[in-house]
With several copies, the nearest count.
Chain A
Amino acid sequence: MRNKQGRLDLNKTLYRKLYLIRSAENAIIAHYPENEMKTPMHMSLGSEAIAVGVCTALGKQGQFFCSYRSHAVYLANTGETDAFFAELYGKSTGAVRGRGGSMHLSSPETGFLGSSAIVASTLPPAVGAAFANKVQNNGKIIAVFFGDGAVDEGNFWESLNLASVMKLPILFVCEDNGFAVHTPTSQRHGYKSLPRIVRGFQCAVFEDDSTDVEIIFNLARSAISKMRKTKKPSFLYLRYYRYLQHAGVNQDFDAGYRSREKYKRWLEVDPVDIQRKKLIKLGKSENEIKRLEKQITFRVENSIVKAKSAPFPDQKELFDDSEFKFSREE
């Protein structure tokens, strides 16, 4: 059990990360229409508590993989916004030197081993990376984030099976927002309950649909300690509501495939809002919180300014790191 101060500190840390993600994405929403961030944008709004809860629970012993919906995990892991925005603007100062854009963030030095624009495709490398950790006995734990759509793909089942039979230190984090693009799970999943099925595997399952980051943090901690004890993978099954369109920065409740009412209900438990309220309840002052928010907003704005003025990659960089030389054509 954490003492009161400890709990406050934890919640402040969690809030700082939530707010960082939210304000970075709000800045994207503001600037995307300028058509300068020429990259297909998949926003995390609504899901922030999952990335923050899990990444914080794993801390420095964590290594992370996720999908093209990568902002929250990247920001929760790295805490930085300079290379983040530079990457969205396709600049040479970007996280991956302007090569990847929003769908392909990566930050190996902080343990964020990669994201991918191919659904379910980071699951297999996540399992392999967990094997490497096990063999090297370095105490590191992999967390791989994926959507309910990734669960449709063979890569998911093969990876779950492989990790289970090999007893690897990996945390599967399924972020179920009920849709793959616009197609609901009911049209894609030939079963009612994924957790029920996963429980059949040698893998501990934890599920929740809370947007309270502290609850997710604690769930992830339980999952990790279970993993350490049983030497089996764990599976976190978490529901959330995607606020915006599948890709892009707008709402799309008029498209007809889902209702604004449901959104409103989830908005009442918006992860950033409720965490803010909790902080106040725990004794933080409105002013203190505002100061923190201001710092973050300032940092985000500053990163955008820097990103905008940074140079595009030099054309000489085209062949860098390609492991490919085709001498005739150069």
Chain B
Amino acid sequence: MTRTITYCQAINEALLEEMRLNDRVFVYGIDVGDHKKIYGSLNGMEEFGPDRCFSTPLCEDTLVGFGLGAAINGLVPVNIHLRMDFLLLAMNQLVNMVANYKYGSGGKLRVPLTIRAVVGRTWGQSYQHSKSLHSVFAHIPGLKVVMPSTPQDVKYLLKSAIRDEGPVLVIEHRLLYDFAGEVQSLPSIPLGSGRILRSGKDITVIATSWMNVEALKAAEILETAGVDVEIIDPRTIYPLDEELIIQSVTKTRKCIVADLDWLNCGFSAEVATLISEKCFGNLDSPVKRIGFAPTHCPAARSLEDIFYPNAADIIRAVEAKLDLKPMDISREDFYNHVNKFKGPF
């Protein structure tokens, strides 16, 4: 059965379904129990009572550690953070404790802890509300990292995260919340499986999270110039579906990584290294990386527009790789950050 629902509804469905299936699943965190229901993603939680969906004090590190303790003692916690940047307060519990707790118990304890964190540009959030950090978490053994870009993916990857025996970070993009898409009923989408978002033969674009929206737009425009772009959404940052990437680039011989993060020592470097190694001798040009500008995220729109990578950047990079003259994109209808989102958050 296929239905069209929003990304936010998909999150909501995943939670409701898992919580009905397993009464050990509970949801908690700052602002989790209030009437805003985390942008609506927690609608209908009343069904489960206040022990299974509740607001907490503001204490990120302790909240993540709390999830660890509940997880090893029989429950299945889902801890929500309205901004990825707040997880920087919780790095101690996440990295020093959660990531290795199973290992440190001699394999005797399981840590089925899911952490939902929201990322993404809205408006003028500036440098303390704009980090992605998936590269940082992927660097740490023991943590799985998921970054879904469609309702279908977020629904089933969140379900997989909740069912996983280990800690999983699910990174949701705020602007995707209102995006609608078709959702099929599936048995599951396993963590670690990527997806060909668009098949093409001329060049591969590997995009994360929101960058898939930008990549699709770029591909649509480039198609009018006769360029056939293949877009790969890895969906999980760690573990990574390396085969899918290698196959695509082996076919197209050209690759752009469009990551929603800084480049230096980031996920884009890992993907570029993978491709440089596995497609050695089969590349027409080095892998090109696109990501956050290497600076702090500004509030002003004029700067935000060039801090965040977008479809135009992808188009220009594709043209450069294919030795094409720059198209006229001045009349294209790009995603309009100026008018789509209304504040305050």
Listed in ascending order, the chain A residues whose CB lies under 8 Å from chain B are 32, 35, 38-42, 63, 90-92, 94-104, 106, 108-109, 113-114, 116-121, 123-133, 135-136, 149-150, 152-155, 158-159, 161-162, 165, 180-183, 187-190, 247-248, 255-257, 312-315, 317-329
Contact = CB atoms under 8 A, between A and B. Distances in A.
Given A40-B344, A97-B107, A104 B299 contact: yes
Contact of A318 (B62, B107, B306): B306
A129 B343 contact: no
14 contacts: A38-B299, A63-B73, A90-B124, A97-B107, A106-B104, A109-B108, A121-B96, A124-B68, A135-B75, A153-B60, A154-B59, A158-B57, A183-B34, A322-B296
B303 A38 contact: no
A154 B142 contact: no
Contact of B239 (A38, A117, A325): A325
Contact of B62 (A104, A133, A162, A248): A162
B68 A125 contact: yes
Interface of B: 26, 30-31, 33-36, 51, 55-75, 77, 85-86, 89, 92-93, 96-97, 101-109, 123-129, 141-142, 144, 165-167, 239, 242, 263-264, 274, 277, 293-296, 298-303, 306-307, 338-339, 342-345
Contacts of A319: 293-295
Given A39-B123, A123-B62, 9 more contacts: A40-B343, A153-B60, A155-B61, A162-B56, A247-B345, A313-B300, A323-B142, A323-B165, A325-B294
A255 to B, nearest CB: 5
A124 B102 contact: no
A113 B73 contact: yes
Contacts, number: 289
Q: Which of B62, B128, B144, B302 has the most CB of A within 10 A?
A: B62
A106 B85 contact: no
Given A188-B57, A318-B293, A99 B97 contact: no
B59 A321 contact: no
B35 to A, nearest CB: 5
A298 B313 CA distance: 44
Given A124-B68, A132-B69, A158-B62, A101 B126 contact: yes
Given A98-B303, A315-B306, A106 B126 contact: no
B121 to A, nearest CB: 11
Contacts of B107: 97, 320-321
A113 B72 contact: yes
Contact of B126 (A91, A100, A188): A100
A189 B68 CA distance: 22
A204 B107 CA distance: 36
Contact of A312 (B104, B166, B300): B300
Q: Which of A32, A132, A314, A327 has the most CB of B within 10 A?
A: A132
B299 to A, nearest CB: 4
Nearest to A130: B69
Contacts of B295: 318-319, 322, 324
B127 A104 contact: yes
A252 to B, nearest CB: 9
Nearest to B59: A158
